[in-house]
Amino acid sequence: MKPKGLKTRIFLDSGNPDETREALRLLGFLDGQTTNPTLISKNPDARERLNRGLKFTRKELLHLYRVVVNEISGLIPEGSVSIEVYADLSTPAEQMLEQGREMVTWIPNAHIKFPSAREGLKAAEEAVKERIRVNMTLCFTQKQAAAIYAATRGAARGDVFVSPFIGRL
């Protein structure tokens, strides 16, 4: 149970439902969980397959991501689960948005993670217009945070999260 008066939201950064269970056991609550493709690749099911020298097709990896996210969502149905799109600096906004539109259908408590780069901001701006909740990741500077605010202006309270990367500055 969440301590009374605690205003800070507690999120777990993991792609492993067993870690979700452990956090719930230790804390008694979680406000949400963030995932990303790298964390999913560290999931025990993915590790087992990769350790056997087998690879994933894109479709298989998306299926695993969806299965893991669904399990996490079932553990914290009242919390948020952030699902990150597959993107790099050359990925256009429309491609990120297409992924986000699909991923948001996976679970009812999804926030779609977009990178805080130019194309990610464009994708987030459109996503918010479509009432897709977003989590802006890879935010390193106040300037980026201001750009996120501008791009997502008009979103409902709680529909936009920012994941700052303080330790990587």
Active centre residues (catalytic): 113
The residues, ordered by sequence, that sit 6+ positions from 124 with a Cβ below 8 Å of its Cβ are 114, 134, 136, 148, 151, 152, 160
CA distance 153 to 150: 5
Encoded tokens for 12: 């777990």
Residue 115 dihedral angles phi and psi, to the nearest 5°? -70, 150
Q: Is 91 left (phi over 0), alpha (psi -120 to 50) or beta?
A: beta
| CB-facing half-sphere around the CA of 165: CA atoms within 13 A | 12
CA distance 77 to 79: 5
Q: What is the CA radius of gyration of the chain?
A: 16
Encoded tokens for 19: 């870690």
